[in-house]
Amino acid sequence: MTDESPRGVSARRPPPMAPMGQARYVVMLTLILIGLGLLAGRIVDLHVIDRNFLQVQGDARTLRTDPIPAHRGMITDRHGEPLAISTPVVTLWANPQDLPKDDIQRLMLARALGQDLDALNERIGRYSEREFMYLRRRMTPESAQRVLSLRIPGVHAREEYKRYYPAGEVIAQLLGVTNVDDQGQEGLELAYQSYLSGEPGKRRVIKDRRGRLVRDLEVLQEAQPGGDLVLSIDQRLQYMAYRELKVAVDENDADGGVLVMLDARTGEVLAMANQPSYNPNNRAGLDPQGLRNRAMVDVYEPGSVIKPLAMSALLETGKFPPDTVIDTSPGWMRIDRFTIRDVSNNGKLTLAGILRKSSNIGMAKLTLQLDDPVVPERYRALGLGTAPGTGFPGEATGSMPSPVRWSSSQWAALSYGYGLSVTALQLASAYTAIANHGERLPPSLLRVNQAPVGEPVIRPDVADQVLGMMDEVVAPGTGARRGMVPGYSVAGKTGTVRKSGSAGYEENAYRSSFVGITPVSDPRIITVVMIDHPRGDSYYGGAIAAPVFSRVAGSALRILDVPPDRPEEEDATQ
């Protein structure tokens, strides 16, 4: 008998599962449940127990620590006028592997960078295996933004600073320069690198996988700006000194020249000009000759400008009263196998007359009467032969010969400026003892707030006596008359020395010098001028260097508001 459902369809039960199939089902279900349990356990472990793992791994792919550039300290003159400042710039870099290969985008990038497309492609090819290359460094923010606005993949920006020198070539050798990474390379920029550079900061940012900034999160360490450096230089005097020196070098077709002006009361360097020079803001086609700070690193035989310093040592022996008379006839003399000459036969001269006529014979005869080396000892006491101690990189020490094997001719030559070498700064510093009643002041390139204590080197009465003799040197009718300053008294000394080369002294090659202290009644400035190898109509220090001193010192005294001490001489000078 057959059962039928209400609808007339037979109802059949499923066949029972075989024992083997039922076991497989249970095993598979168990494995799935175990896997789901392990997966759930791992999720719980990562999100509850070891949740930092995912965060660290995610941060490692997105969080970055970027440097914050430190602002380099400013260099100013003594009145706060900027001489070296840092301006913000932008450096563009790229990951060559992310840069588009599309020619149109490459062309747009090259034009925005101001570069040749072929050259850019060649550089990208060279760096193709790397992840970093510079596109262009130290761009103005506006120029860099024009490139970034193209939104070319792989192009990134980095903030930096660029050094700018408002005075340009006027004070280039003293300040020095920085490199493309804003690190000091020359001059005071190098000497005070650690003080000026500051300390970069750090910030945490989020970047995508292409290195593009997504979000600036926090500053981890603030950038510490570098310290400001205040120099002793007076920018007004520096501009004026540089201008006059450049004119003199050009007019006389000279190889170069230096001018150093010191404050007679403090030893501070008020001006230091060099020729030739260069523009530190644009070093394209730079002449290496312009890099040297000749006033501090070049040494030369001083010649007659050193005679007042030697005279101070001779007077201090007590063997030569001021009214001592020396016969310099017939204008030449033989010492050892050498002949010493004066410009002319000056006959009998007093000590003051020896300086006024710049007599080599007079100085030699005085020196050869002594058994003790008082002249070279005086030079050493005045700082000649030792570094000035300013901290300037490469400052020269000059040279003083050893006294072991001195001959009579060498002994005599030292008294009129041959056989030793000095820098212009050393010479100016030595004359601070004449201007300060015998006390020498150390030179300083930085502004000092209080006058330093001088070192007694010359007996005060002797220093004043030599200053008076130098006052007689710069007077109407003398070879140094062109060093006179209208309205002011000047104590000075000219010098003309032959240049020495590898084969001895050169023919028709001279250095023309002048050292001046003014005003004599109350010395305020000391100035050294040296013109190297003038090729004009004359080469004497009184004709070449003295006029430069006169113009520079006259302008400086008016700028410093120093009252005239001899106004009656102004009309006569003019």
The full DSSP string for 163-216 is: EE-TTGGGGHHHH--B-TTS-B-SHHHHHTHHHHH-B-EEEEEEE-TTS-EEEE
CATH number for the domain that contains residue 336: 3.40.710.10
* 179 and 256 belong to one structural domain: no
pTM, entire model: 0.82
Q: Looking at residue 298, what is its pLDDT? A: 95
Q: Are residues 241 and 359 in the same domain?
A: yes
Residue 3 falls inside a structural domain: no
What is the predicted pLDDT for the residue at 445? Answer: 97
CA 229, 231, 237, 239 torsion-angle sign:
negative
Q: Rounded distance, CA 550 to CA 246, Å?
A: 15
Res 29: pLDDT: 81
How far is residue 67 CA from its own chain's centroid?
A: 27
Going residue by residue through the chain, which has 574 residues, state the pLDDT in tens, using 9 for 90 and above.
Answer: 444 444 444 455 656 656 666 777 778 888 888 888 888 877 777 667 666 655 555 555 567 676 777 889 999 999 999 999 998 888 998 888 888 888 888 899 999 998 998 899 899 889 888 888 999 988 888 888 888 888 888 888 888 888 999 999 999 999 999 988 889 999 999 999 999 988 877 777 676 655 556 666 667 777 788 899 999 999 999 999 999 999 999 999 999 999 999 999 999 999 999 999 999 998 877 778 889 999 999 999 999 999 999 999 999 999 999 899 999 999 999 998 889 999 999 999 999 999 999 999 999 999 999 988 899 999 999 999 999 999 999 999 999 887 766 788 888 999 999 999 999 999 999 999 999 999 999 999 999 998 898 999 999 999 999 999 999 999 999 999 999 999 999 999 999 999 987 778 888 899 999 999 999 999 999 999 999 999 988 899 999 999 999 999 999 999 999 999 887 655 555 5
**pLDDT of amino acid 9:** 47
- Identify how many contiguous H helices and E strands the chain contains and give both numbers: 20, 19
User: In the block, which residue shows the tokens 């900034």?
Assistant: 213
The closest of 370, 376, 348, 346 to 358, measured between CA atoms, is 346
- If asked whether residues 226 and 257 sit together in one domain, one would say no
166-195 pLDDT, tens digit per residue, is 999 999 999 999 988 889 999 999 999 999
* Residue 129 maps to a domain: yes
Exposed, middle or buried: residue 562 (CB in 10 Å: 0-12, 13-18, 19+)? middle
Question: Are the CB atoms for 382 and 309 separated by under 8 Å?
Answer: yes
Asked whether residue 84 falls in the same domain as residue 136, the answer is yes
User: Quick check: is 55 in a domain?
Assistant: no
State residue 154's pLDDT score. 86
Residue 54: inside a domain: no
Contact indicator for 362, 326 with CB cutoff of 8 Å = yes
Is residue 325 one of the residues assigned to a domain?
yes
Instruction: Note whether 271 and 387 are same-domain residues.
Output: yes
355: burial class by Cβ within 10 Å (0-12, 13-18, 19+)?
Answer: buried
Kindly state whether residues 198 and 244 are assigned to the same domain: no
Tokens of 336: 């050892």
Domains in the chain, number: 2
Last residue of a domain, one of 192, 214, 230: 230
Note whether residue 19 is domain-resident: no
Of 374, 377, 351, 376, the residue nearest 362 (C-alpha): 351
356-370 in b/e form (b: 16+ CB < 10 A) is bbbbbbbbbbbbeeb
128 catalytic, yes or no?
no
Amino acid sitting at position 455: E
Boundary-marking domain end, from 194, 215, 230? 230
252 and 209 both lie in a single domain: no
| Residue 203: closest CA among 221, 215, 178 | 221
* 246 shares a domain with 224: no
Please report, for the domain that includes residue 138, its CATH number. 3.90.1310.10
Catalytic residue among 86, 232, 304, 489: 304
Q: Are residues 336 and 429 in the same domain?
A: yes
* Range of the structural domain that residue 403 is part of: 235-277+293-573
* Residue range 512-549, pLDDT digits in tens: 999 999 999 999 999 999 999 999 888 999 999 999 99
Q: Is 305 within a domain? A: yes
In a domain, 273, yes or no: yes
Mark whether 207 and 246 lie in a shared domain: no
What pLDDT was estimated at residue 130?
87
Shared domain check, 244 and 144:
no
Residue 46 has a pLDDT of 65
Question: What local confidence, expressed as pLDDT, does residue 204 receive?
Answer: 75
Give the helix, strand, coil percentages of the chain, each rounded to 5: 35, 25, 40
One domain for residues 259 and 372: yes
**Cα 546 to Cα 574: distance, rounded to the nearest angstrom:** 15
